[in-house]
Amino acid sequence: MRNVSERKIVGGLVTAVVLTASGAFAARPLIIDDADPLDFKKFKAEGGAYYEKDSGCKHWDFPFGVAAGVFPSLELGAGFGGQFEERTEIDEKSGDECTNSENGIGDLTLVAKWQFLGETTWLPRQAIVPAVKFPTSDKDKGLGSGKTNYDLTWIASKSLCEKMNAHINVGYSWISAPADEDVGNILHYGLALDYRIVDALQWVGEVFAEKELFSGAATAIMFNTGLRFSPTEGLTFDIAAGSRLAGDAPDLIATAGLTWEFGFAKEENK
């Protein structure tokens, strides 16, 4: 059998983020991250559900991530989770359509975020985020690449006014693709905005893109927008949805989840 939508099993770190929301370390519910690591001695746990619909394929992810502020301006984290995929396929002998499903664990991702420059009047605060994705998912089921991949992303965040912030990401993924997959390294970038409507409610939106550099594929561009709701300090619920603007990207993505921050860091008087 073959998929109606011939999904490449890229398994790259950023492709996993863009196409399956396995990036548990972005500023939920966004793909684009901010330049703000956790405070020293603070911790974060986050989880959620993600849905992606493309031609002939429906994919669900259930990511979970933990992170800690291990030093001032340095955060370390790990992400894992489960996944389920339903594929519409055509039997090559009979020509009939049928539905096939697979499920299993996702890939393990380790991430660091180092803010090397604070915000000034003219300059944004900036961070570097290296990450490694280990192939813990099942390649034989088509749920991963079976390869270790690496990513390095530069992040800049700037306060535009008291209630609004802008965030820019530019990164590069080194992809170790399977021998039968024509996939190159990936350049990815995007812009996000957040606006505080009231103290407990924030609007977020983003446009992001990725480009496979050696396969000749068109740049995939998507948008995503949603809300964050914080009923109490340290606890945030989120929801968002988005779609394709250009290129080979999903028809629909949607996510919902929560983030819980806790620890021993004390707020400094400003």
DSSP per position, 182-211: ----EEEEEEEEEEEEETTEEEEEEEEEEE
pLDDT band at 100 (very low <50, low <70, confident <90, very high): confident
Q: Identify the CA nearest to 211 among candidates 236, 230, 183.
A: 183
CB-side neighbour CA atoms (13 Å) of 236: 20
Reply yes or no on whether the pLDDT at 35 is more than 60.
yes
Strands (E), 72-117: 74-90, 97-105, 108-117
Residue 19 CA from chain centroid, whole number: 8
pLDDT, tens digit, 9 for 90 and up, residues 172-195:
999 886 666 666 789 999 999 999
List CB contacts of 36: < 8 A, sequence separation 6 or more: 115, 125, 127, 157
pLDDT at 92 over 70: no
CATH number of 2-263: 2.40.160.40
What pTM, to 2 d.p., does this model score? Answer: 0.86
Residue 75 scores a pLDDT above 50? yes
**Per-residue model confidence (pLDDT) at position 157:** 97
Contact 35, 158 (CB under 8 A): no
**Nearest-angstrom CA–CA distance, 228 and 243:** 19
Contact of 88 with 96, CB cutoff 8 Å: no
The answer to whether the beta carbons of residues 150 and 174 sit under 8 Å apart is yes
**Token output for 83:** 């996944």
Cis peptide before 29 (omega within 30 of 0): yes
Q: Domain-by-domain residue ranges, the chain?
A: 2-263
DSSP state of 101: E
Residue 33 has pLDDT above 60, yes or no: yes
Structure tokens at 186: 């990936």
Angle formed at CA 235 by CA 67 and CA 127, multiple of 5 degrees: 40
